[in-house]
Amino acid sequence: MTAVPELHGLDISRLRDIDLFAPSLKSDPLPAFREWVRYEPFYAIIAGAPAAVVTRYHDVAAAFSDHEKLSSEKPRLAGWERLDYFNGELNIAFSDPPVHTRLRKTLASPLLPSAVRPLTAAIQHIVSSLLDRVEGDTMEVMSQLALPAARNVMLGALLGLPEADFDIFITLTHEMFSLGDQPEGAGHPPSYEAAWASARHYIDAVIDREQAAPTDGVIGQLARAYRDGTLSRGEMVAQMITLYAGGTSPIATLIGSALLMLARHPEQLALLRAEPHRMEATIDEVLRYHSPGLFNFRFAREDFDLNGLFVPAGMPVYMVGHAANFDPDIYDDPFAFDIARERKPLLVFGRGIHFCIGFHVARLVTRTVLEATLERFPQIVLADAEIEYTGNPQERAPVAVRLQVARSISV
């Protein structure tokens, strides 16, 4: 991979002063998006380096789709080991063809709608058990519902792990996301190495278990790919942890964002209650208006023209999908939250070969949680209008969403 170039030699008039990591982009991004969504592709200094940025719907869609010119591999620049989440193992999200094609093939079938639909009863059980534990007339959505539901669905229903083994993957994910706090060049801390070794050891046991009694689903599929030589044991760990880490937080965030948006817009909540067939459109509108993700990025493989902007080889290209959700060329009255608006293809799950493999799971879990929550609580009111956000710069994840809930409608 070519080193990131200097701004020298680029058209400085295309440079804009934007801050992709500003906290306000999570708490109140609309003022920025109103401006950005009108910009042609431009340069900005991001994380200290010159980068290209796209914010309009068609530019973002084109960049997501162009895996020939834009690479998903992370360049191994100085200090990169802080971002080596998968212990040097190849991973579906950060790879290009042919590696990406090989890895995606091992995961695709257990995540197809036909494989995911049968998980419905297990997901309903997880959700209703969590709702049963809500006492009194308040519920903090993230800790009492969204995060445990996402974790239990991903590790239990989807990956098929017994609850006693959850901690192996929860600990490794925590260690992975702590790598960014390491000083540059420090390498992996012993706690990360221990967590990886423990997951690797677990995979050995899974392979033996699957050899003796093969199962369907993600783990069974990965073990088969190991047996037929498609995947190494280390790659099995990397794909499992990618699914868990890549799926849990966005599902939880989507659930929290959905209940937040509905509580903030009681007239929309009333419309959904009156016309429950609008559930899928409601999930789309939440994804559009309050996306779990703000942006994604790639690296230019070669010099190329990005809709009129010269992008030199090696330059990072940021695709601000959340801004593109407000493109007035695509959406009428884009700054209104309206579950009855005409549905359009979303960019929130990406486009092209890296399109989110967990799309069907994410939607199924969110729909199940919303249906069960609305049925359980005929009244939902936002208890705390001030929302704080957490997560890495790419995420837009509420820390807490406090609701006042009532089990029967008071007259």
List residues near ligand HEM by CB under 6 A.
64, 72, 92-93, 104, 242-243, 246-247, 250-251, 254, 292-293, 296, 348-350, 354, 356-358, 361-362
If the CB atoms of residues 265 and 354 are measured against ligand HEM, the closer one turns out to be 354
Greatest alpha-carbon span in the chain: 69
The residue of the chain with the least Cβ separation from ligand HEM equals 358
**Closest separation in Å from C-beta 70 to ligand HEM:** 10
If the CB atoms of residues 10 and 297 are measured against ligand HEM, the closer one turns out to be 297
Q: What does the DSSP 8-state code read for residue 15?
A: B
**Closest separation in Å from C-beta 52 to ligand HEM:** 15
**Closest separation in Å from C-beta 385 to ligand HEM:** 24
Q: Partners of 42 in the beta sheet?
A: 53
**Closest separation in Å from C-beta 197 to ligand HEM:** 23
- Residue 324, Cα to own-chain centre: how many angstroms? 17
CA–CA–CA angle 221, 71, 178 (5° rounding): 70
Scanning 120-216, the segments in alpha helix (DSSP H) are 120-132, 141, 147-151, 166-178, 190-212
If the CB atoms of residues 41 and 250 are measured against ligand HEM, the closer one turns out to be 250
Q: Are strands 70-71 and 138-140 parallel, antiparallel or unpaired?
A: unpaired
Q: Give the integer Cα–Cα distance in Å for 377 and 131.
A: 10
**Closest separation in Å from C-beta 186 to ligand HEM:** 27
**Closest separation in Å from C-beta 311 to ligand HEM:** 17
If the CB atoms of residues 144 and 242 are measured against ligand HEM, the closer one turns out to be 242
Q: What does the DSSP 8-state code read for residue 316?
A: E
CA–CA–CA angle 83, 89, 93 (5° rounding): 65
If the CB atoms of residues 188 and 363 are measured against ligand HEM, the closer one turns out to be 363
If the CB atoms of residues 1 and 15 are measured against ligand HEM, the closer one turns out to be 1
User: Which H helix or E strand runs over 375?
Assistant: helix 359-376
